[in-house]
Structure 1
Amino acid sequence: MYAKGLGGVNVPALRSHNAALVLDLLRTAGETGISRLELAERTGLTPQAVSKITARLRTEGLAGEAGHRASTGGKPRTVLRLVPSAGYAVGVHLDRDELTTLLTDLAGTVVALRRRPADLGEGAGPVLDAVTEEVRALLAEGAVGGAGPIGAGESTGPGAGPVLGADRDSAPDSAPDSAADSAPGSAPGPHSGLRSGPVLGVGLAMPGPLDHRAGMPGRVTGFPSWEGYPVRDDLARRLGLPVVLDKDTNAAALGLALRPEAPGSFAYVHLGTGLGAGLVLGGAPLRGDRTGAGELGHQTVQLDGPPCDCGGRGCLEVLCLAAVARGELPEAARILGAGAANLVRLLDIDQVLLGGRVVLGAPDVFADGAREVLAGLGLPTPVAVATAPQAVAVGAAWLALAPIFGQ
């Protein structure tokens, strides 16, 4: 409900929430766009409220006209779309041995990409020096506009996401279509090549465990020196941008969940330098209060198995990576499938998505192996491969973008 002056209602927050709803529908509509009438029907807002919100979004350059559609009566409906070049985000995937940085627009399209070797064993200071260097080089290559949040919003701290500046009361409550249609902000199309929007923030994804609220890692498996280091705040200070820190698997799951065709619940199972899972339930990532959800790799599946760097024995990760090291990929796929089956039985999810550099090196082997294990247990859950090689880095960029769209 969109209302003003109701007792007990935080009106600025409500306006911002409604603007985010509209903006997210513009995002999922893609280049074909969506009309104001459809926005009103799908959000439950009044046509007047939608006109007010879209007028502000156009003024701020976040929305533009995508053409007209025939209507059942009166003038043709104006169709609006998101303007991807209105803002950008940096996604950083800090793996145990590699650093990937990329720049995306508001639609999540990658417009610049950099990769280089890394070594978490060097410690937080030297590694964050490298991250800082790469992000600065990336922004120079991307030639984007000045850093800062869109519109009049301000970040509230190093870890805060961007604040949408579309909740001001500058437009009339019942702005007619004609007034909204003449509003500024008809920015260039998504493929114009003009990158003038601000950089909204940086999303950093790295191996866990970590505390995403405090912005610091725990005892990263194999690299205990990172425990308790203020990664988020240190990087925000270095870059002068808001930074969000999360696990690599959570970031990838977020990016995959924001696809228009994404299922409501799924597990993203990542096999690279480690093994973990990002869980999505009800369309939203499940992190847990301590960011401990999805530690699939450290399920004990063999009580007397080999020791793991986490301190346990017979963990799924150590068994799977050992099979990979021996070149026994079908065996690694079977082990991975056993872990996926545990997730399906526990959470009753709609889909299993496999990813990570090891999986992408032999996608058919891992997909077929996991399907065979699930089928043998009578579990019909479909298995697919998330083929994007930068799924974690793109998901990291969505850590910074998602709050704009109310996600």
Structure 2
Amino acid sequence: MADVEKRNGDVTGVARGDAAVTNGGATGGTATGRAATDGTVTGGAGTGGAVTGGTLAGGVGTGGTVTGGVGAGGAVGGTAGAGANLPVLRSYNAALVLDLLRAAGDAGISRLELAERTGLTPQAVSKITARLRTEGMATEAGRRASTGGKPRTVLRLVPSAASAVGLHLDRDELTAVLVDLSGALVAVRTVPLDLGAGAAQVVETAAIQVDAVRAEALRAARARAGGRLDMPVGAGRVGVTPGTGTAVAPNPGTAVAPGAAASIRAGISAQAGVRPGIRADLVADGCDGSRDVLGVGVAMPGPLDHRAGVPGRVTGFPEWEGFPLREALAARLQLPVVLDKDTNAAALGLALRGAGDSFAYLHLGTGLGAGLVLGGALHRGARTGAGEFGHQVIQLDGPRCDCGNRGCIEALCLAALARGDLPEAARVLGAGAANLVGLLDIDRVLLGGRTIAAHEACFVRGVGAVVAERSRGTVIPVTAAGGGPHPVAEGAAQLVLAPVFGHRRESELG
């Protein structure tokens, strides 16, 4: 071990070799970068070792594990390295504090309340909040009267401190959204898409729309700021170009230190194999679009391997099987990218909005699928195959489905829609929903997707009637999912944001 300085049990210098770093981050492995305080490895790579109680925030974790912290490319308590590129903070404790700040909204929360609700010491909370304020992610929100003491200063999250982009790649349509740290919609674009046009063309179309939604938000923010170039993307909610989406009302923002988002993205940019910098097309608009966008979440029809970022054999589009979509899009955008199934993304977004901890989200658009939240966990199955709801067979000699089987719910439901028989489509969907209720004992069924949105009352009534008939006296609510017109795209953005607030995609939603 060389060039190591120990301060209060932390390592603040550079550790090389088989270093055992106590309370600094790497235990039993090799730390080749800079190990900072607060249980964080912020500059290097942990190879084959374990990080206990800390966060891999600045480098690449290869073959190691993260225990009690947040790992770039993996879940809390999961494996770092080959997984999805996720944004991380300097410590899990900071993520907990940020989550409480977000939940408190504009009213804010005091440091004492933060300490009580996290179990951290007041000193630890003061240290974390001071850093968050310095980085522009938190700010004072006034003072609040207290019982028997002086008024307490309350803090709130700065939603404009950073943002995330969500992409929904549907079979015939692409939706791109940009949301701020609170999850509020900043900008949205929707364009036609041919998923069968070839992977290279789809990647290019997706990249163009990501750049467009970022540049649009930045130009609007700059305009409100009087032409300043240092306004963050999330500084306000903006309207979209006519014909591409829905206008969003303005929301004044707060200037943020430019280093905040950069510190979050530093390590995952290296994992994506991209260089830091400004994209040429955004530079042409005078917009520094890279510095506060944490990453891009991509949601598309399954099956797929979300850890590897690779689609499987998508029904009707076999050419996507095995294509390294996450890697290709990350290289094109020079941003971290996370890939997941459309229904999983929507279910995650709904769960984080308070939809409950035991529900099925049924998505009916150009296809039919389900996102499952069971016991507060996003259920993926052993091979990320859970939720292929549309391909359960309910009619043995039914019409042939594009997947090759006969009598799939998707084939029957889409055939009824093609005939204009909405009640029959709802009845078929209800039969599948009732099967899920009986099999999984879920609390509620949420319906979403373009087809549901166009005929909401018919499907809620029809599906609800079948579920009620087969639920043996148990009341199982069947409702429209709500949460806006873009649940999949906004859920895809939450794939990026959730780990920032300490939520585990693999197991824990709240």
TM over 0.5: yes
Kindly tell me: are residues 118 and 138 of structure 1, through their superposed partners in 2, closer, same or farther at Cα, counting changes over 3 Å?
A: same
Q: 310, 328, 339: which is aligned to 1:216?
A: 310
Which position in structure 2 is the counterpart of 1:399?
495
Aligned-partner SS, 1:269 = strand
Which position in structure 2 is the counterpart of 1:124?
199
In structure 2, stretches of 5+ residues that fail to align are 1-8, 11-21, 28-50, 56-68, 70-89, 219-230, 234-257, 273-288, 504-510
| CA–CA separation in structure 2 for the residues paired with 1:231 and 1:149 | 28
Note the alpha carbon deviations across 1:22-70, whole angstroms, 9 max, x for none: 1111112222222222222221222222121111111111111222221
2:330 is the alignment partner of 1:288: no
Given residue 146 of structure 2, which amino acid in structure 1 is its aligned partner?
Answer: S
Aligned-partner SS, 2:263 = coil
Aligned-partner SS, 2:54 = helix
Note the alpha carbon deviations across 1:299-321, whole angstroms, 9 max, x for none: 11111111111121111111111
Aligned-partner SS, 2:150 = coil
Which position in structure 1 is the counterpart of 2:481?
386
Point out the more displaced range, 35-44 or 103-112: 35-44
| CA–CA separation in structure 2 for the residues paired with 1:331 and 1:67 | 56
Q: 268, 278, 281: which is aligned to 1:156?
A: 268
Which position in structure 2 is the counterpart of 1:142?
217
Which position in structure 1 is the counterpart of 2:247?
none
Which position in structure 2 is the counterpart of 1:165?
none
Kindly tell me: are residues 373 and 149 of structure 1, through their superposed partners in 2, closer, same or farther at Cα, counting changes over 3 Å?
A: farther
Given residue 342 of structure 2, which amino acid in structure 1 is its aligned partner?
Answer: D
Q: 314, 318, 334: which is aligned to 1:240?
A: 334
Kindly tell me: are residues 289 and 340 of structure 1, through their superposed partners in 2, closer, same or farther at Cα, counting changes over 3 Å?
A: same
Given residue 384 of structure 1, which amino acid in structure 2 is its aligned partner?
Answer: T
Q: Is the 8 A contact 2:427 2:462 kept in 1?
A: yes
Point out the more displaced range, 206-215 or 14-23: 14-23
2:133 is the alignment partner of 1:39: no
TM-score, normalised with respect to structure 2: 0.69
2:62 is the alignment partner of 1:20: no
Q: What displacement does 1:340 show?
A: 1.3
2:292 is the alignment partner of 1:198: yes
| CA–CA separation in structure 2 for the residues paired with 1:6 and 1:108 | 33
Aligned-partner SS, 1:53 = helix
TM-score, normalised with respect to structure 1: 0.86
Kindly tell me: are residues 300 and 263 of structure 1, through their superposed partners in 2, closer, same or farther at Cα, counting changes over 3 Å?
A: same
Q: Is the 8 A contact 1:85 1:197 kept in 2?
A: no
| CA–CA separation in structure 2 for the residues paired with 1:11 and 1:326 | 57
The equivalences for 1:232-381 within 5 A come to 232-259=326-353, 261-377=354-470, 378=472, 379-381=474-476
Q: What displacement does 1:282 show?
A: 2.8
Q: What displacement does 1:149 show?
A: 6.9
Which position in structure 2 is the counterpart of 1:107?
182
- What is the aligned residue count? 370
Note the alpha carbon deviations across 1:81-126, whole angstroms, 9 max, x for none: 1110000111111100001111111111111111110101111111
* RMSD, aligned CA: 2.2
Aligned-partner SS, 2:340 = strand
Given residue 263 of structure 2, which amino acid in structure 1 is its aligned partner?
Answer: A
Q: Higher relative CO (CA 8 A, sep ≥ 6), structure 1 or 2?
A: 1
Point out the more displaced range, 88-97 or 275-284: 275-284
Kindly tell me: are residues 283 and 158 of structure 1, through their superposed partners in 2, closer, same or farther at Cα, counting changes over 3 Å?
A: farther
2:203 is the alignment partner of 1:91: no
Q: Is the 8 A contact 1:155 1:242 kept in 2?
A: no
Q: Is the 8 A contact 1:305 1:315 kept in 2?
A: yes
Which position in structure 2 is the counterpart of 1:187?
none
Given residue 210 of structure 1, which amino acid in structure 2 is its aligned partner?
Answer: L
Which position in structure 1 is the counterpart of 2:52?
10
Q: State percent identity of aligned pairs.
A: 67
